[in-house]
Structure 1
């Protein structure tokens, strides 16, 4: 996460959303957008590089903030905090089950927002910095050649994986998933650190949460890439960079 966090605000009360935006700008944060419902929020996330989201639990539309939190956790791999006027036990319990990085109750102050965001930032940073990846050579050369291999811990053993055999990588908050010959290997490692290990001429980040091995790309669509038979989303912000890595007739 960058020093200056870029934050998405999801709040259907305009005055509240505008107040949050002003507070964030005064505190030195960036604002990637203000959404009134889940669909608008997902569109903003797809088009921008957002570092954190502030989600009202009771936004308008058929999808509430808890549903949106699940989508963010599954697809965009960024921390989020909840905002609500309700602090009853049932509401808090439902929100906590999604594992947010913070919880703000209305009314709030500028310092309430600052404290919550900075605690969330610190907790997230600690999580992504905890890695358990070991290299076959015992030395983390950057980048690794395609014929090099990794040892990935699974239960009580380490599985040997050759770099060239990794079809794609998916990020899931504090873990990454390596897909090798239709088998999934889950390790505790950040996507950013893993990208640094991979040979850049072969591995391409096509989405905030996905890195693909270009040698396994079978088809390129408008907003997705087919990799080893799996459809991988391609963000509009990364599309031009991704397409420049391939030859077209």
Structure 2
């Protein structure tokens, strides 16, 4: 399955050159952004496995601050691409725990090697060590939302989305944000009926309306299927 790369680069000729080379290397480019706001919109609406970020982008956030924000919202690797290799820039970049750092003008071989290693290590860390599904007969659970324990019916939950140390609870009628790890979430909803289909998405199995080898559907909403979860998805949904 092709990996999806987001390119954030405000020099469009360079961005298009990177896109061309990545596609020749059998990657899919989810989008090109020249500002942080555009990058976040692409991330919100597309499947992205890795973000390739130029540090010196225009706008309120530079590439490093964008990288910090991405790391807080999405469990994906980031790689910096920049002409700046001074000590302070590197120190700021290191604070965001990137998976790689490529200095411009970039070398295609170095870029390919850096992305390949970053994605390989991400897949390795993503590989589940335990079952990523629950199958119980509970009807509800309490979540602490803005300081108050709130009862949520399992039947009203569509899916969970991981966001760093937080979990978004997407329900019929709205979204709640709770501070919780994925491991804690699975322990918390053990009596429910949920299935992890991607590093970022855990779906209510009763709401799933269809799937194929790449995506899972809840009505018109599409969710990417992570390769390391595919076997369990097919097994849990009883597909031979």
Would you say the 8 A contact 1:176–1:189 is kept in 2?
A: no
The 3 A distance-change label for structure 1 pair 111 and 171 is same
* SS across alignment from 2:220: helix
Which residue matches 1:93?
A: 91
Which residue matches 2:136?
A: 145
Q: Which aligned pairs between 1:92-241 and structure 2 lie closer than 5 A?
A: 92-129=90-127, 131=129, 143-147=134-138, 169-172=160-163, 185-186=180-181, 199=193, 209=200, 211=202, 240-241=220-221
The 3 A distance-change label for structure 1 pair 46 and 170 is closer
Would you say the 8 A contact 2:5–2:49 is kept in 1?
A: yes
Which residue matches 1:223?
A: none
Per the TM alignment, residue 190 of structure 1 is displaced from its structure 2 partner at its CA by 11
Per the TM alignment, residue 199 of structure 1 is displaced from its structure 2 partner at its CA by 2.4
Q: How many aligned positions are there?
A: 188
**TM-score, length-scaled by structure 1:** 0.61
Which residue matches 1:151?
A: none
Which residue matches 1:6?
A: 4
Cα distance between partner residues in 2 of 1:35 and 1:183: 29
* SS across alignment from 2:221: helix
* SS across alignment from 1:77: coil
Q: Deviations over 1:42-95 (max 9, x none)?
A: 111112111111000110112111111122112232211001101111111100
Cα distance between partner residues in 1 of 2:43 and 2:68: 14
- Gaps of at least 5 residues in structure 1 are 134-139, 149-162, 216-236, 243-249
Match status 1:32 vs 2:12: no
* SS across alignment from 2:76: coil
Which residue matches 1:43?
A: 41
Cα distance between partner residues in 1 of 2:2 and 2:185: 19
Would you say the 8 A contact 1:146–1:164 is kept in 2?
A: no
Cα distance between partner residues in 2 of 1:7 and 1:22: 12
Cα distance between partner residues in 1 of 2:26 and 2:221: 29
The 3 A distance-change label for structure 1 pair 190 and 94 is farther
Q: Deviations over 1:15-38 (max 9, x none)?
A: 211111111011010011111100
Cα distance between partner residues in 2 of 1:214 and 1:199: 6
- Gaps of at least 5 residues in structure 2 are 140-152, 170-176, 207-216, 223-240
Per the TM alignment, residue 118 of structure 1 is displaced from its structure 2 partner at its CA by 0.6
* SS across alignment from 1:8: strand
